[in-house]
Structure 1
Amino acid sequence: MPTPEPSPRHRHYGAFYGLDPLPEDDRPFVTVMGNCQAESLRLLLESSGAIRSVRVPPVFEIEADELPLLQRLLDRTDVLLTQPVRDGYRDLPLGSAELAARVAPGARTVHFPTIRYAGLHPWQVVLRVPGEVDPPPVPYHDLRTLALAAGHEVHQGALSRKGIREVRDSSVAILAEREERSDAVPVSDLLVPAGADAAHVINHPGNPVLVGLARRVAERLGLDAEIPEPTGTLLDEVHAPLLPEVLEALGLAVDPVAHWVYRGAVLPDEQVREVQLDWLRERPHVVEFGLDRHRETARLLGIRP
């Protein structure tokens, strides 16, 4: 029988699946594990020419039958770069401590943080509600939309500048505490100085933050290498609006943006809100879950009694 044609996923992760050869030379072999931020970090480090690496599926996509493929990489890993992941994640041995225990003898493990920054998008949240998928047409929730779906009034002009700044500061402080707890390469101090380029959405940091992180990782690893500026925008799949009240509260002198860009499509913010309102009104449990999970942020922003 003819050999089945590899799927697009298998081609995308060709070396991981054994379709492409692993790089062979004297540079350290670095395995980078985590979410989509991990691949951006890997690309930046690889662009320096100082390491060997291959593209690995994000930790939230790896399945049980792919663990031997991952172990094949860990067996030859000189440096494991990983975001902090709890043991038994998705009922698989993908926790950062579990991975560190399975790398080649003498390999180093270095943590880097899972970056979330709410400064530019203080109402935006990611909800993982059991049994539910992401909302249409973008995979992010908005506390104002959740409040509207719950029947609360939201007065756009009454939103607190002080609350916007407090959400920003809290976001940075939470990340700094997590960095310290896991002895991760720090990045929290780079967020505010990056201004409007700090993030596209709350969990997709912008180029200045990612490049700064990559340079600090290279320094911690003792790499004699320069991390060049990328030629394009990393983590470019989704961009959220930049609202004038946020820019004013944070003292950022850039033009506001009133629309989303998701996978190349321009989506007016009001259109996203209306679609999500209809979706949420059929799922009151999601509304309750989101407002309860983020009640302190909603209080700071003055969008819920």
Structure 2
Amino acid sequence: MPHTPVPFRGADLPEGFGLVVGNCQAESMRIVLDAADRPTLRVPPVHEMDAADVERLHELLPRASFLVAQPVRDDYHGLRLGTRQLAASLSSSARLVTFPVVRYAGLHPFQAALHVDGIDEVPPIVAYHDIRTLAAAAGLPTVSRPDRRTVRRIESDSLAELRRREASIDVAASDLLRPSSAELMRTVNHPGNGVWLPLAERVLAALGLPGDPTDPGRPLLNAVRAPLEDWVVDAWGLPESPRRSWIVDGVEVDPSLVAEAHAEWYRAHPGFVAAATVRLRDMIGHWRE
């Protein structure tokens, strides 16, 4: 059974506790690492932390037995949240293990998750961008159904980028991303349990801690599930049936409603469209072939 997490604030600190720091994926890693003999404290994702949170985190770090962290640049959001900055507050006996931000486009080669400087808003319904809708907003025509070669090119590009980022961290995830089931990824940046459990096993080994990962008994990062296109199922020979709808908090959402809402949002944010199409030019290029 999963151990009940200790809150970031309040409560007595357990002996030998660890911390997991990163984006929204970090909480999933914490859940599968947490156990009675290796308790963890639940930390907010870095993009939600304020100065008081960071101060509290640096108070906890000297007492922690380990820190598991996704790479974060120094002075992130003007705060001492960089991985190196956090590591400097650890005791000399504590262990630090880094793991990657997992993004993989093999099952969702139409999808991107990105922010543009100066635009803090996100599009309505789901905070993901469909290459087809975004390209249309920029006046760039795309194919309606990419072939298998295009799907595999986009997948290969996303793996290459992940491997590039893995080169400077402790634990890799890229070799776990085999598109044998739709459960591998819920969205382009939300891995399923089939990624988290073996990745946590690697983290435990790197920490030198005994025991197995903790199976949470429920799907992780499951609040939003992107459509499973029929041409993606065909490209990988997936066992699941295609699914047109988004699933948001358990409710099916028609993709045409998402596309219409996002098209309107793009019309109201032309600066986002211009910047996003530049950043995603290679991916959009695959869709224009």
Q: Does 1:252 align with 2:238?
A: yes
Q: Does 1:285 align with 2:276?
A: no
Say which of 12, 32, 37 aligns to 1:21: 12
- Matched position secondary structure for 1:128: coil
Match of 1:8? none
TM-score of the aligned structures, taking structure 2 as reference length = 0.93
Match of 1:100? 87
* Alpha carbons 2:18, 2:39 under 8 Å: kept: yes
- Per-residue displacement from partner, 1:217-247 (whole Å, max 9, x unpaired)? 1122222202243310011111100101112
Match of 2:212? 226
Cα distance between partner residues in 2 of 1:42 and 1:62: 17
Structure 1 moving runs of 4+ over 4 Å: none
* Alpha carbons 2:107, 2:179 under 8 Å: kept: no
TM-score of the aligned structures, taking structure 1 as reference length = 0.88
- Per-residue displacement from partner, 1:83-138 (whole Å, max 9, x unpaired)? 01111111111000110011123211110111111111112111212232110111
Q: Does 1:34 align with 2:25?
A: no
Say which of 46, 49, 62 aligns to 2:49: 62
Cα distance between partner residues in 2 of 1:43 and 1:14: 11
- Matched position secondary structure for 1:73: helix
Deviates more, 1:93-102 or 1:147-156: 147-156
Identity %: 42
Q: Does 1:109 align with 2:96?
A: yes
Displacement of 1:14: 6.9
The residue type paired with residue 138 of structure 2 is: A
Q: Does 1:90 align with 2:81?
A: no
Work out the number of aligned pairs and report it: 285
- Matched position secondary structure for 1:156: coil
Deviates more, 1:81-90 or 1:160-169: 160-169
| Runs (5+) with no aligned partner, structure 1 | 1-12
Q: Does 1:295 align with 2:286?
A: no
- Per-residue displacement from partner, 1:56-100 (whole Å, max 9, x unpaired)? 111111111222211221020111110011111111110001100
* Alpha carbons 1:164, 1:301 under 8 Å: kept: no
The residue type paired with residue 97 of structure 2 is: V
Per the alignment, do residues 259 and 193 of structure 1 end up closer, same or farther by CA in structure 2, a change over 3 Å counting?
A: closer
Match of 2:134? 146
Displacement of 1:193: 5.1
Match of 1:118? 105
Cα distance between partner residues in 2 of 1:222 and 1:155: 49
* Alpha carbons 1:160, 1:300 under 8 Å: kept: no
Displacement of 1:270: 1.2
Say which of 7, 28, 33 aligns to 1:45: 33
Once superposed, what is the RMSD of the aligned Cα atoms? 1.8
- Per-residue displacement from partner, 1:249-276 (whole Å, max 9, x unpaired)? 2222320111111223321111111111
The residue type paired with residue 80 of structure 1 is: L
Q: Does 1:212 align with 2:198?
A: yes
Cα distance between partner residues in 1 of 2:24 and 2:167: 22
Structure label with greater radius of gyration: 1
- Matched position secondary structure for 2:67: strand
* Alpha carbons 1:160, 1:302 under 8 Å: kept: no
Deviates more, 1:164-173 or 1:260-269: 260-269
Cα distance between partner residues in 2 of 1:30 and 1:38: 13
